[in-house]
Amino acid sequence: MGAFYHGLLLGMTILLVPEYEVKSNRESGLGRYNLAIYPTRREKCGVILEFN
């Protein structure tokens, strides 16, 4: 079930491209992020998401 939620949120981030670069780390746990959203311009904020 976790791969479904992970895939769903990853798919939703497609709307952020090209303003952001989205990186997925499917091997979560032990302090690793699931999704990292990096801005392509320095004046914007990034986001790191970890799902439990």
DSSP 3-43: HHHHHHHHHHGGGGTTTEEEEE-SS-BTTB-SEEEEESSTT
Q: Is the pLDDT of residue 6 over 80?
A: no
Of the candidates 19, 44, 18, 5, which has an alpha carbon nearest to the alpha carbon of residue 35?
A: 5
Q: Quick one: average pLDDT of 14-19?
A: 85
Structure tokens at 2: 């976790």
C-alpha–C-alpha distance, residues 48 and 38, integer Å = 8
pTM tops 0.75, yes or no: no
Q: Quick one: average pLDDT of 14-36?
A: 80
Q: How confident is the model at residue 2 (pLDDT cuts 50, 70, 90)?
A: low
- CA 31 from centre of chain: 14
